[in-house]
């Protein structure tokens, strides 16, 4: 079978991609150096996920402990497989707009330079491979905050007759707004991937993700709000809600639903395409609604507090419109609603989270 290269292979989307394509008989080369631990501390380490993948797929999965910014390492890896590579999923990133402000140079080199290194290695050694990039809705900056929103009891909402009722589409501008430095570095990568498709006629596709989540997410305070919220609820850790009265709305897409979308593109690729990708109206919630659901699923009350200061460039209301993707790939279906997603997240991780909490308490 063909070779699939996955960067960020022990992370949320990377690990879901590894499992999906390995289960279908492909050989998977994974690139991950657990930088997430450096970004967010030991609790965010993806090492547990890497070990699980190696144990589950001892024949199909080959792990490379490498940095996507390392041109020589990427060239060596891609040269090893050459034109056997049929698909590249570039999911490695510095993913937090809060963290980016603490080290803009690392953020930019990982997100922008790293993407360039992987693109060039693909163009040199496997130019016909389908290239999929996980971008972010943060490329739109805070432009969504200009929408006319209505305050409801537990969420901000948009009028039902507004053109964006079904979500924000790809026509929203990506400039003249505040992005965070993370958003800026992801714009650079986003446009690079588009350009390699249009300029070099490579089959590249960009997915601008809303909140990507799932049971494999190593959620932490600065990234992965839904996984971290569920973890705090399950373990009794305190949680802080930042701004907007806790009524800010996010759409949440299960990692498997997103990887199924990747597979649609893999089987019928296009050049330089861009799609918004998120939970849509099918799976979205405000912070207050998410807290209620987490408490229902776990049977525990969350210890949470509120601070008036919202995160810089944060969205008040964001729901993705995936009409364009569904028009291009009408067989794709979103299968995991919010309750199913949270229940799976809790059932898969509760025991591991409790063990981590006990170990932390013992070390104090």
The 10s digit of each residue's pLDDT in 228-279 is 999 999 999 999 999 999 999 999 999 999 999 999 999 999 999 999 999 9
Helix (H, G, I), strand (E, B) or coil at 88: strand
| Domain assignment present for 340 | yes
Q: Which domain holds residue 329?
A: 3-358
Main-chain dihedrals φ then ψ at residue 227, nearest 5 degrees: -65, -40
What would the two tokens of residue 134 be?
Answer: 């996980």
CA-based nearest residue to 257, from 329, 203, 317, 185:
329
The 85-90 sheet, strands edge to edge: 61-64, 27-31, 3-7, 85-90, 130-136, 204-209, 273-277
| Contact between 77 and 5 (Cβ < 8 Å) | yes
CA distance 294 to 301: 9
**What's the burial of 347, exposed, middle or buried (CB within 10 Å: 0-12/13-18/19+)?**
exposed
| Domain assignment present for 16 | yes
| Domain assignment present for 223 | yes
Residue 89 CB neighbours (<10 A) = 30
Q: Which long-range contacts (CB under 8 A, 24 or more apart) does 294-299 make?
A: 294/229, 294/230, 294/233, 294/342, 294/346, 295/233, 297/230, 297/339, 297/342, 297/343, 297/346, 298/230, 298/233, 298/234, 298/346, 298/350
Question: E strands of 102-235, at which residues?
Answer: 130-136, 149-151, 156-158, 204-209, 211-213
CA-based nearest residue to 342, from 294, 302, 288, 279:
294
Main-chain dihedrals φ then ψ at residue 278, nearest 5 degrees: -165, -170
Tell me the CATH number at 128.
3.40.50.720
Query: pLDDT digit of tens for each residue in the chain (364 aa)?
Result: 799 999 999 999 999 999 999 999 999 999 999 988 888 888 878 899 999 999 999 999 999 999 999 999 999 999 999 999 999 999 999 988 888 899 999 999 999 999 999 999 999 999 999 999 999 999 999 999 999 999 999 999 999 999 999 999 999 999 999 999 999 999 999 999 999 999 999 999 999 999 999 888 777 776 768 989 999 999 999 999 999 999 999 999 999 999 999 999 999 999 999 999 999 999 999 999 999 999 999 999 999 999 998 887 789 999 999 999 999 999 999 999 999 999 999 999 888 888 877 777 666 5
Helix (H, G, I), strand (E, B) or coil at 274: strand
CA distance 274 to 227: 26
In this structure, the strands spanning 156-158 and 149-151 are antiparallel
| Contact between 290 and 335 (Cβ < 8 Å) | no
| Contact between 70 and 52 (Cβ < 8 Å) | no
| Domain assignment present for 55 | yes
| Domain assignment present for 247 | yes
CA distance 105 to 334: 37
What HEC string does 28-79 produce? EEEECCCHHHHHHCHHHCCHHHHHHHHHHCCCCEEEECCCCCCHHHHHHHHH
Domains in the chain: how many in total? 1
| Domain assignment present for 125 | yes
| Domain assignment present for 364 | no
């Amino acid at each position: 079978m063909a070779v699939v290269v996955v960067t960020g292979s022990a992370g949320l989307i990377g690990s879901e991609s590894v499992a999906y394509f390995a289960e279908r008989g492909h050989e998977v080369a994974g690139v991950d150096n657990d930088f997430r631990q450096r970004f967010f501390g030991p609790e965010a380490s993806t090492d547990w996920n890497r070990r699980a993948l190696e144990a589950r797929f001892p024949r199909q999965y080959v792990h490379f402990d490498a940095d996507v910014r390392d041109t020589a390492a990427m060239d060596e890896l891609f040269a090893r497989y050459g034109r056997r590579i049929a698909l590249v999923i570039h999911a490695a990133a510095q993913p937090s707009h809060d963290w980016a402000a603490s080290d803009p140079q690392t953020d930019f080199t990982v997100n922008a330079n790293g993407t360039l290194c992987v693109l060039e290695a693909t163009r040199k050694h496997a130019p016909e491979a389908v290239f999929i990039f996980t971008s972010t809705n943060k490329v739109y900056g805070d432009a969504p905050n200009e929408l006319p929103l209505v305050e409801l009891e537990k969420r901000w909402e948009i009028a039902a007759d507004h053109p964006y009722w079904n979500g924000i589409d790809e026509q929203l501008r990506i400039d003249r707004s505040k992005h965070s430095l993370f958003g800026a570095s992801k714009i650079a990568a986003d446009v690079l991937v588009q350009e390699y498709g249009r300029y070099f006629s490579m089959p590249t596709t960009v997915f601008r993700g809303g909140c990507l989540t799932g049971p494999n997410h190593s959620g932490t305070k600065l990234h992965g709000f839904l996984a971290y919220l569920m973890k705090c609820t399950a373990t009794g850790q305190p949680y802080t809600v930042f701004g907007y009265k806790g009524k800010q709305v996010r759409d949440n897409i299960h990692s498997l639903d997103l990887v199924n979308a990747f597979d649609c593109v893999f089987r019928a690729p296009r050049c330089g395409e861009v799609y918004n990708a998120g939970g849509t109206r099918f799976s979205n919630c405000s912070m207050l609604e998410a807290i209620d659901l987490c408490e229902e699923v776990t049977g525990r009350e969350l210890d949470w507090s509120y601070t008036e200061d919202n995160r810089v460039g944060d969205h008040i209301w964001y729901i993705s419109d995936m009409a364009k993707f569904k028009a291009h790939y009408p067989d794709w279906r979103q299968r995991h609603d919010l309750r199913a997603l949270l229940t799976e997240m809790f059932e898969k991780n509760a025991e591991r989270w409790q063990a981590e909490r006990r170990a932390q308490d013992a070390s104090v």
